[in-house]
Amino acid sequence: MTMAGIAEVPTLASDFTRFAAWDPIAECTMVMATPAAEPDMFADYHRGAVASYARFGVSDALDPDAAGCAEDTALFWALVDVGGDVVGGVRAKGPLRAPEESHAIVEWAGQAGETEVRRMIEARIPRGVLEMKAAWLSKEPGGTRHRAKMIARSGFHAMAALDLGFCMATTAAHILDQWRSSGGVVAPIPATPYPDARYETKMMWWDRSAFAAHGEPDQVATIVREMAQARRATAAAVQGRAA
What are 78-100's pLDDT values in tens digits?
A: 999 999 999 999 999 999 999 99
Mean pLDDT of 196-216: 95
Q: Within a domain: residue 158?
A: yes
Question: How many whole angstroms separate alpha carbon 26 and alpha carbon 38?
Answer: 22
**Opening angle at CA 84, ends 67 and 73, nearest 5:** 25
Residue 145 in any domain: the answer is: yes
Q: Is residue 124 part of a domain?
A: yes
What pLDDT was estimated at residue 144? 80
Residue 76's SS3 state is: strand
Strand ranges (E), 85-216: 86-93, 129-137, 166-172, 185-186, 201-207
Query: Is 36 inside any structural domain?
Result: yes
Task: Report whether pLDDT(162) > 90.
Answer: no
Which residues span the domain enclosing 181?
A: 16-242
The answer to whether the CB of 130 falls within 8 A of the CB of 74 is: yes
Residue 94 belongs to a domain: yes
Here the CATH number for the domain that contains residue 144 is: 3.40.630.30
Tally of structural domains, the chain: 1
11 in a structural domain: no
* Residue 1 covered by a domain: no
The amino acid at residue 14 is S
Please check whether residue 230 lies inside any domain of the structure. yes
